[in-house]
Amino acid sequence: MRVFVTGATGFLGSAIVPELIGAGHRVVGLARSDAAAASLTAAGADVRRGTLDDLDSLRHGAASADAVIHAGFNHDFANYGAAAETDRLAIEALGGVLAGSDRPFLVTSGTALATPGRAATEEDAANSTVPRKSEEAAASAAAQGARVAVVRLPPSVHGDGDHGFIPMLIGIAREKGVSAYVGDGQNRWAAVHRLDAAHLYRLALENGSWMPRYHAVADEGVPFREIAEVIGRRLNVPVVGKSSEEAADHFGWFAAFTSLDCPASSTETQERLGWHPMHAGLIPDIDRPSYFAIKQKA
């Protein structure tokens, strides 16, 4: 298949691209800079120049593709509303091109807010009290006749090159001199290694038995305190609990994420796709010098 991939040079996308090429697919990656274009060319992919808010470029990329993976997102969580709106418009543009065809369209979302406090499953629709624009846009594309499915990622997609939530926690611990958790720290985060997640995207594209939602989840629920303990030990700083009020001051805007209890299951995904995570789980993966070698900014 000729697969158009947004976010192709990002942390996850840069794993999806070689996964697809290694399986014999031709990849066209969206690139917003010369450096991104050069990276895609070096990986063996074709390049389409553009950004997530360049809707014409997205439409042209989808029009010439046999399948589309939308893995791009502006990870400015301090300005999440604007990022989510850009994501919605991008999905609508891609879905409009694919409507009425049998070309697979994978949209990326998350497990974190699906069912707070209990393990989310693939059967769970998006939480109506905390709507996800990505899933709403995917549902709209499906209603127009696009062959769309959602791939939900857990709060931590980890591995070499991680610049997501775990590095944020490391940066805050360095700045504050303590590694903190909220309450008793027993709230859980689901997680997956980036290479396992990339493999899931490929299997989902190739699988003839389509599901509306896939869960790219390896660790169903890692207690947040265990994450804080690894960070504290590696940085040689105290590990402390914070009340909800103290957490707001300690973590800033990130406090809402640190207190989330958001386990998730991938049982149905694994059974349907024959997907079985093979890479390191969250705790052994982050408990390595490479996660702490470069100072991260909170």
pLDDT given at position 298? 40
User: Residue 176: which domain range?
Assistant: 160-190+220-263+279-291
**Do 225 and 139 share a structural domain?**
no
296 lies in some domain: no
**Do 48 and 176 share a structural domain?**
no
Res 128 pLDDT > 70: no
Q: 224 burial class (0-12, 13-18, 19+ CB within 10 angstroms)?
A: buried
How does pLDDT run across 248-289, given as a tens digit for each residue? 999 998 998 999 999 999 999 999 999 999 999 999 999 999
Task: Name the region of 261 (left: φ>0; alpha: ψ -120 to 50; beta: rest).
Answer: beta
pLDDT given at position 78? 64
**Do 224 and 105 share a structural domain?**
no
274 lies in some domain: no
**Do 150 and 35 share a structural domain?**
yes
pTM of the model: 0.93
**Do 145 and 172 share a structural domain?**
no
pLDDT given at position 207? 85
**What proportion of the chain, given as a percentage, has pLDDT over 90?**
82
268 lies in some domain: no
**What proportion of the chain, given as a percentage, has pLDDT over 70?**
94
* Structural contact between residues 250 and 240, judged by C-beta atoms closer than 8 angstroms: no
41 lies in some domain: yes
d(CA 91, CA 82): 14
Closest alpha carbon to 87 in 136, 145, 44, 151: 136
Band the pLDDT of 81: cuts 50, 70, 90.
confident
* Structural contact between residues 174 and 247, judged by C-beta atoms closer than 8 angstroms: no
Number of structural domains found in the chain = 2
pLDDT given at position 96? 95
**Do 200 and 62 share a structural domain?**
yes
**Do 36 and 113 share a structural domain?**
yes
Res 172 pLDDT > 70: yes
pLDDT given at position 294? 63
Residue 69, domain CATH: 3.40.50.720
Which segment of 10-19, 20-29, 115-124, 232-241 scores lowest on mean pLDDT? 115-124
pLDDT given at position 296? 45
pLDDT given at position 29? 97
Residue 182, domain CATH: 3.90.25
**Do 102 and 28 share a structural domain?**
yes
Which segment of 65-79, 80-94, 124-138, 184-198 scores lowest on mean pLDDT? 124-138
pLDDT given at position 297? 43
pLDDT given at position 292? 93
